[in-house]
């Protein structure tokens, strides 16, 4: 079989793994690039990350929950996402506790102290991770593994199930990704490798310098110094880029998002919540030229917006109390009264209702709290979790080929005195959300705005639509994966990398 780049692939490649000197070094992006590169070269790659910690998650077609970073990488591989690609997911519920998802299903909540100190449970999780890896390996080649954070956190290494222990178990060739933009590149690379055991060091086949600004030929001396210090070749220097749009995993990127109002656009204010989840729901708004999206926790910003969106959250009641205390709740209500559009998704939908009850104290110690009262619905938080992917019809008069997914712990019902007015009718007959009017509605469906029907409805009523009337998000993402692969391919020594696989 001839590959997209014109060479016949070997029958088998060893697994490849990208690890980092620190968090946010760019492992996920590099991993995504190689997923597409191997696909272009005629292989059948699949991504894998043994354990992920993120509030950005996704519901697979089988109804399992997994981290969105591996969903992006699966898309780059042209594969449907599966929980085997991310068998362990930690979803922080507050500053100290996380929900533990194993093979797509929640198995309980643990504090960070409990999680990192448990021994038998960690061994069981590592065993499950290895089984998931083996299942993927039986179907796909190569497996493109991703590490987490730094690989040299000495106080955590004995309990680590994601980094070098997984590399050894998978017999993977490992490449270390270092972020040069944050400075200290020599110390971070040398120190990271020096702190590894001899067995671990033997796994490191190359170093990739990421986020380089300027002419990389000026780093020739630096490259030689790193290779002399470590005895490991620098196999790539990836330039800083901002013209390729790949979905981000970490919420730290929200700090760099646009915060400016633009008069010639439809300004969309997304409420910045402490436990905000699935902010990737709004990536499409940042890419559609009709909209100008910004994140805010300042009440005065809502006066300048056209649309306000309350996003999902891992702790609805806690975040609702925060926005009540900081004035955002009152500002949202006032903005709606002044004619602004107000939309709620998942936890945001729950907040827009009349009250939220937590009789089993699933989210905390508050049994009931009043909502914003804009929608005539009430929510009961339940222990059971709904994770489901669905096709649906968006409103009775719109497209019936939309798709999205649910991830929530709660049942929302309309109050007795109002008629049922769903936002969406799902393929299994269930009705989702509540549609008050063109200016206010809420839905449990993540990804709802990725559908043109919902996107066009959101833009309805504004006179600032001066560029186009539709946006093909799926085609756009495909284009970005190819651009990313071409960029990385042109800045790494692919011949050497293949020689190590």
Angstrom distance (rounded) from CA 187 to CA 176: 14
**Residue showing tokens 């980094």:** 163
Q: Are 451 and 393 in contact (CB under 8 A)?
A: no
Q: Which of 218, 235, 280, 229 lies closest to 253 in space, CA to CA?
A: 280
Cβ neighbours for 38, distance < 8 A, ≥ 6 positions apart? 13, 45, 77, 142, 144
For the record, the structure tokens of 422 come out as: 């769903």
Helices (H) and strands (E) in the chain, counts: 15, 28
Between CA 68 and CA 250 the distance in angstroms is 10
What the block records as the tokens of 381 is: 């938080």
Do the strands 173-179 and 424-426 form a parallel or antiparallel pair, or are they unpaired?
unpaired
Given the residues 82, 408, 446, 457, the one annotated as active site: 446
Look-up: residue for tokens 């029958």? 11
Task: Judge contact between 99 and 109, C-beta under 8 A.
Answer: yes
User: Dihedral, CA atoms, 443, 269, 439, 68, nearest 10 degrees?
Assistant: -20
Instruction: Reply yes or no on whether 22 is catalytic.
Output: no
Give me the half-sphere count of Cα atoms (radius 13 Å) on the Cβ side of residue 48: 31
Q: Look at residue 238 and give its three-state secondary structure.
A: strand
Q: How far apart are CA 400 and CA 351, in angstroms?
A: 27
| Phi and psi, residue 109, nearest 5° | -110, 140
3-state secondary structure of 376: coil
Chain Cα centroid distance, residue 296: 20
Please give the Cα distance from 445 to 230 (Å, whole number): 49
Long-range contacts of 94-97 (CB under 8 A, 24+ apart): 94/275, 94/315, 94/318, 94/364
As given in the structure block, the two tokens for residue 197 are 């055991």
Beta bridge partners of 105: 102
φ, ψ (nearest 5 deg) of residue 90: -105, 125
Record the tokens describing residue 64, joined without a space: 């399992």
**Catalytic: which of 346, 378, 402, 440?**
346
Task: Kindly give, in sequence order, each residue whose CB lies less than 8 Å from that of residue 474, ignoring residues fewer than 6 positions away.
Answer: none
Phi, psi of 215 (to 5 degrees): -85, 115
Phi–psi pair at 405, nearest 5 degrees: -150, 155
Q: How far apart are CA 37 and CA 498, in angstroms?
A: 11
CA pair distance 83, 331, nearest whole angstrom: 40
Is 346 tagged catalytic? yes
Q: Which residues are catalytic?
A: 346, 446
């Amino acid at each position: 079989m001839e590959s997209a780049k014109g060479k016949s692939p070997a029958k088998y490649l060893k697994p490849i793994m990208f690890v980092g000197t620190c968090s946010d070094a760019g492992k996920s992006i590099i991993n995504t690039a190689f997923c597409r590169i191997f696909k272009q070269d005629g292989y059948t790659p699949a991504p894998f990350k043994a354990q992920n910690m993120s509030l950005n998650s996704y519901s697979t077609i089988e109804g399992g929950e997994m981290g969105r970073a591996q969903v992006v990488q699966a898309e780059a591989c042209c594969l449907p996402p599966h929980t085997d690609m991310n068998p362990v997911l930690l979803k922080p519920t507050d500053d100290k506790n996380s929900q533990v998802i194993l093979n797509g299903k929640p198995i309980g909540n643990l504090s960070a102290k409990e999680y990192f100190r448990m021994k038998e449970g960690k061994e069981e999780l590592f065993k499950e991770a290895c089984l998931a890896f083996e299942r993927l390996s039986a179907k796909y080649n190569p497996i493109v593994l991703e590490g987490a954070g730094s690989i040299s956190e000495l106080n955590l290494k004995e309990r680590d199930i994601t980094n070098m222990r997984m590399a050894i178990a998978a017999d993977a060739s490992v490449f270390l990704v270092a972020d040069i933009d944050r400075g200290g590149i020599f110390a971070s690379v040398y120190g990271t490798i020096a702190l590894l055991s001899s067995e671990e060091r033997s796994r490191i086949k190359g170093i990739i310098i990421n986020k380089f600004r300027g002419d990389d030929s000026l780093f020739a001396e630096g490259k030689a110094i790193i290779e002399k210090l470590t005895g490991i070749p620098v196999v790539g220097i990836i330039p800083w880029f901002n013209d390729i749009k790949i979905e981000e995993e970490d919420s730290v990127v929200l700090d760099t998002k646009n915060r400016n109002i633009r008069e010639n656009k439809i300004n969309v204010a997304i409420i910045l919540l402490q436990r905000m989840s699935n902010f990737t729901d709004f990536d499409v708004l940042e890419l559609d030229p009709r909209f100008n999206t910004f994140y805010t926790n300042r009440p005065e910003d809502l006066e300048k917006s056209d649309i306000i969106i309350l996003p999902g959250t891992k702790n609805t009641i806690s975040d609702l109390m925060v926005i009540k205390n900081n004035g955002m709740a009152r500002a949202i209500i006032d903005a709606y009264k002044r004619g602004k559009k107000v939309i709620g998704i998942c936890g945001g939908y729950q907040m827009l209702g009349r009250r939220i009850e937590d009789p089993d104290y699933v989210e905390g110690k508050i049994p009931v709290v009043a909502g914003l009262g804009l929608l005539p619905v009430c929510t009961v938080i339940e222990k059971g979790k709904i994770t489901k992917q669905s096709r649906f019809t968006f409103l009775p008069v719109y497209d019936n080929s939309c798709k999205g997914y649910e991830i929530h712990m709660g049942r929302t019902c309309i109050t007795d005195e109002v008629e049922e007015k769903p936002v969406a009718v799902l393929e299994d007959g269930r009705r989702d959300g509540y549609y008050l009017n063109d200016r206010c509605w809420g839905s449990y469906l993540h990804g709802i705005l990725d559908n043109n029907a919902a996107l066009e409805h959101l833009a309805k009523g504004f006179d600032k639509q001066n560029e186009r009337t539709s946006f093909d998000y799926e085609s756009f993402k495909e284009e970005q994966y190819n651009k990313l692969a071409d960029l990385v391919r042109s800045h790494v020594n692919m011949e050497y990398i293949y020689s190590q696989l």
